[in-house]
Chain A
Amino acid sequence: DDEVHVRQKVAEVDPQEAANFEQELRAVMQESIEQRRQELRGRPMLNMVIPMNLFEGSARDHHGRGVGGDSGDEALDEEAGGSKEVQVKVLVKRGNKQQTKQMYIPRDSSLVQSTKQKEAAEFEE
């Protein structure tokens, strides 16, 4: 009866409430953009340093984390549906210093998809 319990819980989001909330959320987003456009007169410069050493060996980080652990072959994983996540480095600033942190993100994230496609395209060329 755990199942039933969960179902009861998951149900019942008032559609009116959901619609109102969606509208409010959109408003906040829209106004945030509006506000930024007003604040920033003229386009700001690109002002970021990406430490190039990060990119070295990026291919090595590019392994999936499947059920079976460290299988290196992506194609195999995908077909088996085993590897759901990829490891990325998130680049953040700590004061003026850059730092990276390892994260796992879902393989179907658009972040991964795009670069995969690009890589594939490049590979074909």
Chain B
Amino acid sequence: EETGDEDGYEFGKGDFTEHACRYCGVSNPACVVRCNVPSCRKWFCNSRGNTSGSHIVNHLVRAKHKEVCLHKDSPLGETILECYNCGCRNVFLLGFISAKTESVVVLLCREPCLNVNALKDMNWDLSQWCPLIDDRCFLQWLVKIPSEQEQLRARQISAQQINKVEELWKTNPDASLEDLEKPGVDDEPQPVALKYEDAYQYQNVFAPLIKLEADYDKMMKESQSKDNVTIRWDIGLNKKRIAYFVFPKEDNELRLVPGDELRLRYSGDAAHPAWQSVGHVIKLTAQEEVALELRASQGVPVDVNHGFSVDFVWKSTSFDRMQGAMKTFAVDETSVSGYIYHHLLGHEVENQTVRNTLPRRFGAPGLPELNASQVLAVKSVLQKPISLIQGPPGTGKTVTSAAIVYHMAKQGQGQVLVCAPSNVAVDQLAEKISATGLKVVRLCAKSREAVSSPVEHLTLHYQVRHLDTSEKSELHKLQQLKDEQGELSSSDEKKYKALKRATEREISQSADVICCTCVGAGDPRLANFRFRQVLIDESTQATEPECLIPLVLGAKQVVFVGDHCQLGPVIMCKKAARAGLAQSLFERLVLLGVKPIRLQVQYRMHPSLSEFPSNSFYEGTLQNGVTVNERQSSGIDFPWPVPNRPMFFYVQMGQEEISASGTSYLNRTEAANVEKIVTTFLRSGVVPSQIGVITPYEGQRAYIVNYMSRNGALRQQLYKEIEVASVDSFQGREKDYIILSCVRSNEHQGIGFLNDPRRLNVALTRARYGIVILGNPKVLSKQPLWNSLLTHYKEHECLVEGPLNNLKQSMVQFQKPKKIYN
């Protein structure tokens, strides 16, 4: 008689034995393998069930995991499958091969070991290499397929359920399939609204969305641990230890930025105790090398270089500040003026004008003369409590903002707060404002103090260190001591902190303008400051709660600068994005009827290049502040099909492919032609820094970088200096020549990312002198906007095909654009 209890068969409790397939529950040791990714370690069986691949293959592909281990009771015993020659554990590369005689077989990887010449010399029949994964299953003689009986007793999981549970595991690795059925997991959060009853309702909607985004961010970052990291040690100017190492990015989801906090660990050896320290990223090189400034200088194992581990230290600061701002907005009546409060919530409020004497001229010292639309913007902004300025590409947003801030500061309403979501934008604006002669303090996050900045002399930490008065000599002495010794005695430390705080306060208070990121406005060092006038640049790239942080410090007059026809804030959590977190406050205010003042003269693009964006995105209102002559690249001999029209659409018919991450695409033909175009530019006298290659897909970005450096016809270094980036990361920037690789080319699927008109707008408006677009017109023409772009190029005889040195007009037929229904 069976005493089934110990066998792990405890039906009804929902608990499977440890090695049961996490999809279906089959637990026969001969039929299961364990995913060997440390954060996963789940077991899966080799049965297909109702899906096209076996459960283990399904998991590996969906989770992008690539290593497995056999069960201890399987015929091979507990074995990590790896190449017998090189130890490669990527199961997608492994296969069996007979070692001379059929009775002995080994696992060998197909790249590179199967190509090692010595093997051929040994007379092995390499053509009979037999892949480990065949027909979407593991080799059945290695990992058995569960019997029909076993499969019938198992859970009948569908492909959809597999997708869902894999998605769930990304945030909760211990989740079970039952969790899919639990209420909540699939519930969509409450979506954002146009209007809100009160700030509590506002908070009730946004707080859960911020929480979702924060959880996702945390999960993403904390799963980024890396082992076996090799360190190069250095010492910074401030005498702190700096660790250099390579932290490769796996896919496009996580990018390290200066200021990020990482933990470096060493597990210890005979000569070194275990050690760890936290540090801040102060620099990222083009070769993806990270410079980490360590917090502690004591006990660092600087004579060791190998075997370190790196973890991401997630900080909730920015999310906490958004939540805090929403709370302040709700509970503190003085956080913003009544007008702004009601206006932001979408309540009907009677128009108000700000009573201020207007300046006689609207430009500002140290800035270029303003054009008519810029003057109009400055003038109208100064009279309104809430205004929106829309700055299409190259229209002088920063100069206009600086002029506005200059006049605000001169009105004597107290200090002006200037913010933007990104540090780069804040730095640019701080520099321009400082050029008008105003006293500017750039407040940086503590974690970014060691990050070099173009406006270092404006930063608070720099000014504190260089405030060279005799009363402050005490602070300087202590600072010096701290730099040299790494730390101070506790009484000195106390004294140092108090002196530093007082000095910071003194410097900040004497400034006309404080510049910081939106999140930086929540810095405790500004806790007791009040700002009646606030300008937020790039506000279309911030989420609402992010914009709220600078506002709740007493705003009475607010200026939002941005362009809702370009890309919005990046939201990682799809659920939060679907619920509307990606809609900026600027956009909602537009929907509420606030009319943006548009800057109308662009100074960036050759007039031929601005024509289509102007007509398609800005109702044809964009005027050219540059002439054809000013954008003529003399001495550059590039085969533009129409002279004086430095643009063409280069017809490509190569197929798209899905990239390694499974979430991105690449297109080899386009990449090869990008290289040819780049080479032609370089040969004609264009230098690498003038060229930008843009592509909407990380997969293609990585592929192009690689392809150019391996196959480029000229010196490798030249190609390395060329910036290849996503559309999104080119926002706000420009290059003389832009090459845009569209990638998508398929019969039935959509064009994904390219569908977003805002992304197309950004892509088309980065170039000053010339643009080349590579894409498949047959596919792209289905989308109405792309159809009109293609028609525009065709009408101007700029739709071409054939070799670069002999471009011919293309007769390719467009498809009828599909109507978009919403």
Q: Which residues of A contact B (CB under 8 A)?
A: 5-6, 9, 12-14, 17-18, 21-38, 40, 43-48, 50, 54-55, 58, 61-62, 85-93, 100-106, 109-116, 118-119
A115 to B659, CA, bound (A): 36
Q: Which of B60, B106, B660, B662 contacts A91 (CB 8 A)?
A: B106
B115 touches A43 (CB 8 A): yes
Contacts of B75 in A (CB 8 A): 101-103
B105 touches A12 (CB 8 A): no
Contacts of B128 in A (CB 8 A): 110-111, 113-115
Q: Does residue B52 face the partner (Cβ distance < 8 Å to A)?
A: yes
Q: Does residue B112 face the partner (Cβ distance < 8 Å to A)?
A: yes
B24 to A: closest C-beta gap in Å: 12
Given A28-B64, A93-B84, verify A43-B116 contact (CB < 8 Å): yes
Given A6-B152, A36-B112, A44-B113, verify A88-B657 contact (CB < 8 Å): no
Q: Does residue B510 face the partner (Cβ distance < 8 Å to A)?
A: no
A111 touches B96 (CB 8 A): yes
A38 touches B88 (CB 8 A): no
The 8 closest A-B pairs by CB, nearest first: A31-B660, A115-B102, A27-B658, A18-B52, A114-B128, A46-B118, A36-B111, A58-B103
Q: Does residue B585 face the partner (Cβ distance < 8 Å to A)?
A: no
Q: Does residue B136 face the partner (Cβ distance < 8 Å to A)?
A: yes
A32 touches B98 (CB 8 A): no
A67 to B66, CA, bound (A): 37
Q: Which of A21, A87, A100 contacts B52 (CB 8 A)?
A: A21
Contact with A along B112-132 (1 / 0, CB 8 A): 110111110000010110100
Considering the complex, give the chain A residue whose CB is closest to the CB of B106.
A91
B84 touches A24 (CB 8 A): no
Contacts of B669 in A (CB 8 A): none
Contacts of A114 in B (CB 8 A): 98, 102, 125, 127-128
Contacts of B87 in A (CB 8 A): 93
Given A31-B660, A54-B104, A92-B76, verify A110-B84 contact (CB < 8 Å): no
User: Among residues 305 to 336 in chain B, which have CB atoms less than 8 Å away from a CB atom of chain A?
Assistant: none
Interface size class of B (residues with CB under 8 A): 35 or more
Considering the complex, give the chain A residue whose CB is closest to the CB of B119.
A46
A24 touches B658 (CB 8 A): yes
Given A21-B51, A115-B102, verify A110-B76 contact (CB < 8 Å): no
Contacts of A93 in B (CB 8 A): 82, 84, 87
B109 touches A36 (CB 8 A): yes
Q: Which of B109, B112, B141, B659 contacts A27 (CB 8 A)?
A: B659
B105 touches A36 (CB 8 A): no
B105 touches A91 (CB 8 A): yes
User: Among residues 69 to 110 in chain B, which have CB atoms less than 8 Å away from a CB atom of chain A?
Assistant: 75-77, 79, 82, 84-88, 90, 92-93, 96-107, 109-110
Q: How many A-B residue pairs have CB under 8 A?
A: 185
Contact with A along B145-173 (1 / 0, CB 8 A): 00010011000100100000000000000
Contact with A along B476-519 (1 / 0, CB 8 A): 00000000000000000000000000000000000000000000
Considering the complex, give the chain A residue whose CB is closest to the CB of B80.
A92
Given A36-B112, A47-B85, verify A24-B61 contact (CB < 8 Å): yes
A58 to B102, CA, bound (A): 9
Given A32-B66, A34-B660, A40-B112, verify A91-B51 contact (CB < 8 Å): no
Considering the complex, give the chain A residue whose CB is closest to the CB of B115.
A43
A54 to B: closest C-beta gap in Å: 5
Contacts of B761 in A (CB 8 A): none
A32 to B88, CA, bound (A): 11
B92 touches A111 (CB 8 A): no
Considering the complex, give the chain B residue whose CB is closest to the CB of A104.
B141
A61 to B127, CA, bound (A): 24
A-B contact pairs, 17 of them (CB 8 A): A9-B156, A21-B51, A21-B52, A21-B61, A25-B57, A25-B136, A32-B111, A33-B111, A36-B112, A44-B85, A50-B99, A58-B103, A86-B103, A92-B106, A93-B84, A111-B97, A115-B128
A8 to B: closest C-beta gap in Å: 10
Given A30-B657, A90-B106, verify A106-B84 contact (CB < 8 Å): no
A21 to B61, CA, bound (A): 8
B655 to A: closest C-beta gap in Å: 11
Considering the complex, give the chain B residue whose CB is closest to the CB of A19.
B52
A22 touches B52 (CB 8 A): yes
Contacts of A102 in B (CB 8 A): 75
Q: Does residue B228 face the partner (Cβ distance < 8 Å to A)?
A: no
B108 to A: closest C-beta gap in Å: 9
B85 touches A46 (CB 8 A): yes
B93 touches A33 (CB 8 A): yes
B92 touches A89 (CB 8 A): no
A113 to B98, CA, bound (A): 10
A116 to B107, CA, bound (A): 19
A62 to B140, CA, bound (A): 20
Q: Which of B82, B113, B127, B152 contacts A5 (CB 8 A)?
A: B152
